[in-house]
Structure 1
Amino acid sequence: MSKITKDMTIGEIIGLHPRHAETLMTFGMGCVACSASQGETLEEAAMVHGIDVDNLLRALNALV
């Protein structure tokens, strides 16, 4: 499985690892199904939602 990076879009992450949608929502990202998720990077989404991208990356990659 591919390692998640902060420059991947939310859409790419969910496409590669569908179960990560739940983790993203747990962190407060309800945008996993919105159209912005197709073009917004993990880093951009984390910034918009006030989430520490490094903590989020650790959680996502722990599941890979």
Structure 2
Amino acid sequence: MIQKEMTIAHIVQNYPTTIPVFRSFGMHCLGCPSATGESLEQAAQVHGFDVDRLLSALNESLKN
């Protein structure tokens, strides 16, 4: 299960099925330096997304 405290890099490395979800939210730079240091919650704030909506979509992608 993905949690908002996890970094984007951790999520992408451990759950590669989430990559299309990140891209659908306009987050294309999954390998940038910020991805290794920012939590999902911080990244959502920076990009102007509702973290709960993003988190729900990411966790849903794990079911497929």
TM-score by length of 2: 0.89
Find the counterpart in structure 1 of residue 27 from structure 2: 29
Match of 1:12 among 10, 13, 20: 10
Q: Distance in 2 between matches of 1:62 and 1:22?
A: 12
The C-alpha deviation readout for 1:9-61, integer Å capped at 9, x for no partner, is 00000011112111111111123121110111000000000000000011011
Size of the aligned set, in residue pairs, is 62
Q: Distance in 2 between matches of 1:43 and 1:29?
A: 13
TM-score by length of 1: 0.89
Find the counterpart in structure 2 of residue 55 from structure 1: 53
Query: 3-state SS of the aligned residue for 2:2?
Result: coil
